[in-house]
Structure 1
Amino acid sequence: MSIATARAAAAAPLPAEARALRFAAFGGPEVLSCGRVPLAPAAPGEALVAVRAASINPSDVKNVAGRMKQTVPPRTPGRDFAGVVVDGPDAWLGAEVWGTGGDVGFVRDGSHAEYLRIPVEALSRKPANLSFAEAGAVGVNYVTALIALDYAEVKPGEVVLVIGATGGVGGAACGVAAGRGARVIAACRGAPAEGSPARHSTGEFVDLQSQDLGAAMAAMTGGKGVDVVLDCVGRPDLVEAAIAALGFRGRLIAISGTPGDQVRLELIPFYRRECRLIGLDSLKRKAADCADLMDALRPGFEAGTYPAPAIAELIPLSRGAEGYTAVARGTRGRVVLDMQG
């Protein structure tokens, strides 16, 4: 979309109603329906974004299922988005934007709708070289990966092991770590697809279905261990193997887990190697917090350093429940809603 076209669209009168994916009670994808809701102009301090595309994240599926205590239905879900500002401050009208937030779709109506109201502070300009579908699939995954690697203070030349590299956050972490000059080892079940971000970022893989993670790390690092592990899976046996694989002053960032699961940690070798175990919950960052992170990610995409998300399915908003079903069953690649469909 050209700047002139975007500004013309922003100047057009807003409709009285717009389509949105809604749920009135918690449950599976079947509780979602696409209906029309009233549309009001942006309030002071807000912007109204005409959403063009928005990915469906596993956390969105969990949200609809009732696993997020902060959510009260009825609600429009959806965290990530890319679109055009159609109401708000003059400086932003017609701007192509992207974003995400731990409040969007949880304590305020989300992005799985034709329009999204967000604070002006949550606006970030979309990279021009990404399509709306690609930009709308960046948010949660790349923001989480960026925060994780910042926490780990990853340096050029360090070895970064990503467990769950074919998932959204895992693939993003491979891209960001490689962009920082790290050596990336990608661990996943089976072989990553040719177009996956992990393939773009590294040629070193561990197949968790056929290889022992601990033995593989010892062989691939000459017994020195890895500097950083980003665990996107949370399976206790893999966490224990990853902790054992940490080298001196190694850092493990945990972003996933299953309620009730416990991990055994042998403290003596852990503290003698001066290792660190760090938890990360991206839901703690509101959309306004994430705007700075999206700004920080933009140059990497514009330069081609970071790989664009792999889009597995582009689904019309009217069939949004089908998209949630696909994510719930574990589709590889991003499932994205097209708001114009």
Structure 2
Amino acid sequence: MSKTMNAVMMREFGGPEVLELVNVPRPVPGPDEVLIRVHAVTVNRTLDLAVRAGRYGRPVKLPHVLGADPVGVIEDIGRDVTDRQAGDRVATMPVLRPATATTPPTLLGVSVWGGYAEFVVVPASATQRVPEALDFASAAVIGRHAPMALHLLETKAKVRPGETVLVMGASGGLGMAGVQIAKSLGATVIAGAGSIERVQRAMAAGADYGVDYRAHDLVAEIKAITEGRGVDVVFENIADPELFPKAFASLARGGRLVTAGSHGGGTVPLNVTELYQKQLTIHGSTGLTAGDLVKSLELGATGKIRAEFARSMPLADAALAHRGLEDGDIEGKIVLSPAQ
């Protein structure tokens, strides 16, 4: 095996043009680590575009290699690894090592070099096997958002069969996962999105109803769909100061709102009177467990959820992928493949 590899590196913060394909030393796994030959890695607005631009909320050491969710095949293992072997098809967890009393968690593609490369090294404990029925690109997309959606809806909101769930930003990566996970839990799903085209994409992914919240009154539409009751759960990942109060007002008495996202601004009005009078609950979480990843991959392998992505591109086109996503020329998730 060659001692070098191709990787997309950034030596400074800035626009997509700071990403360059370079040849660098191939990493060597430590005692508890595995070396993965990367077959697919997704492009993300926060963990890639914001990090590249220098807008992420944690320090990033340069030079840096992005890529939070590589999927591929184990090529080599460290001497202490006993539960993984060469040839295993694996996906990676975003948190490589948990936080301690004095240090933050180690995030792949943020704290350490990530998967925009032919190879990546991660702790064996941060990997989970990918079912044979699932291709690498689909596994990368499902592994990126479905585990968090599952954690929010199943663990935090405790969605039950027969309940109604409003998914905001339903055509985005996390929103699409939310639509499908909610359906897999037996819920009736209302997709909220900012255009009729985006609503239609979410409906095609399995939503039962759709609302264009830029063209129509969200609260009135939700009341009409639910015969005045409101929804049991709101899956919110926008945090837009105009939309958040409307989504919150769409909750039925005893309803729950779960959220993990703030690209709409992050600071929103909150009707505290409504919060306590209707006995509502708000859960904010970025957490997920290894079990969430395993279950999500299994749901993908059995066809109960499917990967929604716009395009697969060669690793060498990472800058073009960033530009297309940033400028809005590419709608949906992009997958980079070092093998192309």
Task: State TM-score, norm by structure 2.
Answer: 0.89
Give the Cα separation in 2 of the matches to 1:259 and 1:242. Answer: 14
Aligned to 1:72: 61
| 8 Å contact kept, 2:195–2:213 | yes
**CA displacement 1:228-273 (0-9 Å, x = unmatched):** 1111222111110011111111111222225866422222222011
Structure 1 runs (4+) deviating above 3 angstroms are 191-198, 258-262
| 8 Å contact kept, 2:33–2:122 | yes
Give the Cα separation in 2 of the matches to 1:311 and 1:270. Answer: 36
| 8 Å contact kept, 1:166–1:192 | no
Any residues of structure 2 matched to 1:19-38 within 5 Å, and which? 19-38=6-25
Residue identity in the other structure for 1:187: G
| 8 Å contact kept, 2:176–2:205 | no
Give the Cα separation in 2 of the matches to 1:192 and 1:127. Answer: 33
CA shift for structure 1 position 195: 9.4
Give the Cα separation in 1 of the matches to 2:218 and 2:159. Answer: 21
Gap change, CA 1:87 and 1:189, over 3 Å in 2:
same
Aligned to 2:129: 125
Any residues of structure 2 matched to 1:257-268 within 5 Å, and which? 257=262, 262-268=267-273
CA shift for structure 1 position 276: 1.2
Any residues of structure 2 matched to 1:26-175 within 5 Å, and which? 26-59=13-46, 60-68=48-56, 69-88=58-77, 89=81, 91-102=84-95, 103-149=107-153, 150-175=155-180
Aligned to 2:101: none
Give the Cα separation in 1 of the matches to 2:113 and 2:27. Answer: 13
Tell me whether 1:238 sits opposite 2:227 in the alignment. Answer: no
Gap change, CA 1:258 and 1:40, over 3 Å in 2:
closer
Give the share of equivalent positions with the same residue, in percent.
31
Aligned to 1:215: 220
| 8 Å contact kept, 1:166–1:332 | no
| 8 Å contact kept, 1:309–1:333 | no
Aligned to 2:98: none
**CA displacement 1:31-67 (0-9 Å, x = unmatched):** 1111011013311100000000111011111111112
1:335 match: secondary structure: strand
Gap change, CA 1:231 and 1:255, over 3 Å in 2:
same
Give the Cα separation in 2 of the matches to 1:260 and 1:185. Answer: 23
Any residues of structure 2 matched to 1:285-324 within 5 Å, and which? 290-306=289-305, 308-324=306-322
Give the Cα separation in 1 of the matches to 2:136 and 2:90. Answer: 9
Give the Cα separation in 1 of the matches to 2:66 and 2:203. Answer: 28
Relative to structure 2, which stretch is displaced further, 244-253 or 126-135?
126-135
**CA displacement 1:108-132 (0-9 Å, x = unmatched):** 1101111010000011111222221
CA shift for structure 1 position 340: 1.3
| 8 Å contact kept, 2:239–2:264 | no
Give the Cα separation in 1 of the matches to 2:128 and 2:152. Answer: 21
| 8 Å contact kept, 1:174–1:186 | yes
**CA displacement 1:201-231 (0-9 Å, x = unmatched):** 2231101232111111111111111111111
Aligned to 2:100: none
Stretches of structure 2 lacking an aligned partner (at least 5 in a row): 96-106
1:233 match: secondary structure: coil
Indicate which of 275, 279, 283 corresponds to 2:284.
279
| 8 Å contact kept, 1:316–1:339 | yes
Give the Cα separation in 2 of the matches to 1:129 and 1:260. Answer: 39
Give the Cα separation in 1 of the matches to 2:216 and 2:199. Answer: 21
CA shift for structure 1 position 92: 2.2
Aligned to 2:99: none
Cα RMSD of the aligned pairs, angstroms, is 2.0
Give the Cα separation in 2 of the matches to 1:138 and 1:192. Answer: 22
CA shift for structure 1 position 326: 1.8
Gap change, CA 1:132 and 1:201, over 3 Å in 2:
same
